[in-house]
Amino acid sequence: MRTALVALIVGAAAGMSSPAARADLTVVCRDYAVTSGHPDSTGVGLEVLRAGGNVVDAAVATSLALGVAEPYGSGIGGKGMLLYREAATGKVYALEAMCQAPAGLDAEAFAKLRRRDRYYGYQAVAVPGLVACLGDAHRQWGSKPWEELVLPAADLADEGVVVSAPMYSLMRPKRNLLRRDDAAAAMFLADGETPAVGSRMKYPLLAETLRTIAKGGPRAFYEGPIAEQIVATCKAGGSPMSLSDLRDYRIRHVAPLEADWEGYHLAAAPPPLTGGTTVLATLKSLEGVAALHACTERDATYIDLVSRSLLALYPEITRTVADVPDAAEDAAWLVSDAGATAVRDAAERLDPASPETPALRSAGVTADDTADASTTHLIVADREGNIVCLTQSLSYHMGAGVVAPGVGVLFNNSMSNFSTRNPDAVNHVAPGKHERSTIAPVIVTQDGKPVLTLGIPGGQRIPTTTIQLLVDHLLLGAPLRETFDRPRFHVVRAASSSQPPNVVDLEGGSPAGLDAELEALGYRTARHTADGHYFGGGSAIRWTGDGLEAVADQRRTNDAAGD
């Protein structure tokens, strides 16, 4: 029996939206749980489970509904990274559905574009992967008919989503971007302005597209009228995307990146994503460190230990992890005992006042390393330990800021995630290449049993926040709810040689004296408001003795529900 610690707001359709609705923060469940970035999408997933669907069925429905309810964070025009744990075998599968550079891309010409044109507009659009990801997951593990799982998102798009205060605050900064594209402005603005809190945003064109995908299956997005409209629109905007790019796109079924840490086994996102490597390698480098075990909060000692490891790791990850042949081997070494020792030694020698990062300076940092707190996350899990942990994104909030007329698809700006300065860099832009990303969904087990699964949006803050949640809860024993509510910090990855390489960002609410303590250790500090814009949101589910506890971040519009 489910016990809600905050009033439950659930709905299988948009009619349940309320402008004053606040997401459930923590729920305790007996059989299954759903978390996502919005109450409407969480409600859709819960209804699938109640109707007898499995966790994959519910994840497909939740994902598509989330792209409607939280359109600035993800959608069918974007990407995803999905981890699936099969309880019967204990095996974790990874479905990598990063966006892909068009096959006809002229990399040299793209590198010469103005920064704005590489980050926004049609030339910033890469081939989307999310629909293919959901289709492959459903085909392999789903039990309900595909159409039954897609239609709730279409209904939600038709009925509309009520604009909440957090939603308004996340959309308003993008209004000038959306004004540049007629289709985007028509879809997301009201007379050129962000819709007011309490108003209802409806997406009839997207609803029709979703119904076409429901009837025709996932391939209906990649072939046929939808694909033709997408390609025609992108080409008119200067993109080299072709019908064959969409037709030939396939996700990658890969092994997760795995490591043992402090008695737990962790499975995370593998290359070309950097997030999983950053999380696991940092944790491994801190394994057994007495000073960290002695911490009771995110104080200066805690932050210094984590920051040193990250500053030591950043150059190596930037130099090696991307869509290149050796990335998997390099990542595996970084999370091995030998790699952990090397990182720990480098961290101990590092001077926070002037860390040396030569590889970083030559390789360059790209958009996903420095972006606003874009992206979103969902989890569906049951008491047996079947788990879907999925992070999905358009890269930046509102992606490229352009929409395909007639189909209502908001496009990603994932071409911005490639580097363009150094042709020898592993993440340098190239035709057919998958982008790099800091996305980092994680599944934790112990002695073959599920313990915890979590995921965070937030650009470069994804790995650093994930590290803090895992350390606080699993190592230091803090309650899961408390780990989410604590003020966060982030060790900035300098984007160029003109930026200081030792900045620690602190979330509002951090102790007043913390800045001075860190500065005395050699760091520079900056403060960011605790509103979800910078540090993102996220969610987690943990297994208790007789069920599950689902936690949704109070930042943004995250929600948790279950039975």
pTM (2 d.p.): 0.93
* Element containing residue 117 per DSSP (H, E): helix 115-119
Which pLDDT score, from 0 to 100, does residue 278 have? 97
Is a pLDDT exceeding 80 seen at residue 95? Answer: yes
CB-based contacts of 164: which residues, under 8 Å, 6+ apart? 19, 20, 21, 197, 557
Write out pLDDT tens, residues 29-46: 999 999 999 999 999 999
The pLDDT, as a whole number, for residue 467 is: 98
User: Is the pLDDT confidence value at 11 over 60?
Assistant: no
> How many percent of the chain have pLDDT more than 90?
84
Range with lowest mean pLDDT among 85-94, 137-146, 426-435, 500-509: 500-509
Torsion of CA 541, 131, 456, 348, to 10 degrees: 110
pLDDT tens-digit series, residues 432-471 = 999 999 999 999 999 999 999 999 987 889 999 999 999 9
Beta partners for 419? 428
In sequence order, what are the beta bridge partners of 58?
none
CA distance 529 to 390: 26
Q: Higher model confidence: residue 367 or residue 173?
A: 173
Which pLDDT belongs to residue 153? 99
Mean pLDDT, to the nearest integer, of 232-236?
97
Residue 369 pLDDT exceeds 50: no
The mean pLDDT of the chain is 91
| pLDDT tops 60 at residue 208 | yes
Question: Alpha helices of 195-289 — where are they, by DSSP H?
Answer: 204-216, 219-222, 225-236, 243-248, 275-285
pLDDT value of residue 357: 47
Tokens at 286, concatenated: 């801190």
- CB under 8 Å to 171, separation ≥6 — which residues? 72, 163, 188, 194, 195, 397, 398
pLDDT tens per residue, range 288-324 = 999 999 999 999 999 999 999 999 999 999 999 999 9
Q: Report the greatest alpha carbon distance in the chain.
A: 62
Most confident of 5-14, 19-28, 167-176, 271-280: 271-280
For residue 19, is pLDDT > 50?
Answer: no
pLDDT bracket for residue 365 (50, 70, 90): low
pLDDT score of 356 more than 80 = no
% of the chain surpassing 70 pLDDT = 92
H helix count then E strand count, the chain: 23, 22
Q: Which of 90-99, 376-385, 506-515 has the lowest mean pLDDT?
A: 506-515
Looking at residues 342-371, what average pLDDT do you find?
Answer: 67
- Give yes or no for a contact between 375 and 130, defined as CB atoms under 8 angstroms apart: no
- The number of beta carbons lying within 10 Å of the beta carbon of residue 361 is 16
Q: In what side-by-side order are the strands of the sheet with 489-491?
A: 489-491, 503-507, 524-528
Q: Given 3-state DSSP classes, what are the helix, strand and coil percentages for the chain, each rounded to the nearest 5?
A: 40, 20, 40
Residue 52, Cβ neighbours under 10 Å: how many? 9
Phi/psi of residue 561, nearest 5 degrees? -155, 165
Of 273, 96, 373, the closest CA to residue 281 belongs to: 273
How far is Cα 249 from Cα 432, in angstroms, rounded to an integer?
A: 9
Mean pLDDT for the stretch of residues 85-108: 98
Peptide bond preceding 19 in cis form (omega within 30 of 0): no
Type of residue at 166: P
